[in-house]
Structure 1
Amino acid sequence: MEELLHVANLVANKLNSHWEGPLEERLTLQALKVSEEAGELAQAVIGARGINPNKGHSHTWDDVRAEACDTALTALVTLHMLGGDPAAFLAEHLRTIRAKAENWEARA
């Protein structure tokens, strides 16, 4: 997890160093980038399942895994760009999700 957060911080810093526009605009575009990556993940799943009759099996499940990684990293880059302490925010949010998940009822 530490390496993931380090890479997200590195990417965020590199992107920010090339941005000359208003911060709010950069954050908006970065959030949209997460959606773009999620779309590529969906496209890879469709390709791995062979659902599109025009394309058939155009992706592998390794492609899906790679797109999932890209989506996760892009979301973490966004978290870093929002400032504050991304690692602490993420840790606290994960604790909240964990507590909820531990209380989910198992389905029979």
Structure 2
Amino acid sequence: MTDLFDLAAVVTARLDAVNGRSREEIGLRILKVTEEAGEVAAAWIGAIGQNPRKGVTHTTDDVAAELADVALTALVAITSLDRDPRDVVTACVNKAAARLDTYSTTPPE
């Protein structure tokens, strides 16, 4: 199994080789996260059969796979910003953990 962070670096290097790393290219990589999130929404709509004309077209496995695409795409965008995604994700996790610690001792209003 390939390490997710290593894969993000490989994907970023390949995109750099093909498309370069201009400001516009980095912007497109960031916007790609939104595109992938839209695919999550479409899969969820398909999983719950929200569109009566189409009915149920996806499964929750499809939704989970699309969410994974969002995660990988976000890591590529972070790497494209010349940041170490391990550090960025760790900081995010620590911030969330600190909030949980706060909520566990002080009930939210």
- CA offset at residue 18 of structure 1? 0.5
TM-score by structure 1 length? 0.87
Runs of 4+ in structure 1 over 6 Å off: none
Shift of 1:86: 2.5
Structure 1 residue identity aligned to 2:38: G
**Aligned residue-pair number:** 105
Q: Identify the residue that residue 103 of structure 1 maps to in structure 2.
A: 102
Q: CA deviation at 1:87?
A: 1.5
Contact 2:48 2:56 in 1 (8 A): yes
Measure, in 2, the Cα distance between the counterparts of 1:84 and 1:64: 28
For 2:88 and 2:62, locate their aligned partners in 1 and report how far apart those are by CA, in whole Å: 30
Counterpart in the other structure of 1:29: 28
Task: Name the TM-score, length of structure 2 as normaliser.
Answer: 0.87
Deviation by residue 1:41-84 (Cα, 9 ceiling, x = unmatched): 00000000001111110001110011000011101110110003
Query: CA shift at 1:85, angstroms?
Result: 2.5
Instruction: Let me know the Cα RMSD of the aligned residues.
Output: 1.9
Gap runs ≥5 in structure 1? none
Task: Check conservation: 2:5, 2:75, Cα contact below 8 A.
Answer: yes
* Unaligned runs of at least 5 residues, structure 2: none
CA distance in 1, matches of 2:13, 2:100: 33
How far residue 101 of structure 1 moved from its aligned partner, in angstroms, is 2.5
Report sequence identity in percent.
Answer: 40
2:8 is matched with 8
SS in 1 for 2:3: helix
* Conserved? CA contact 2:78–2:84, under 8 Å: no
Letter in 1 for 2:53: N
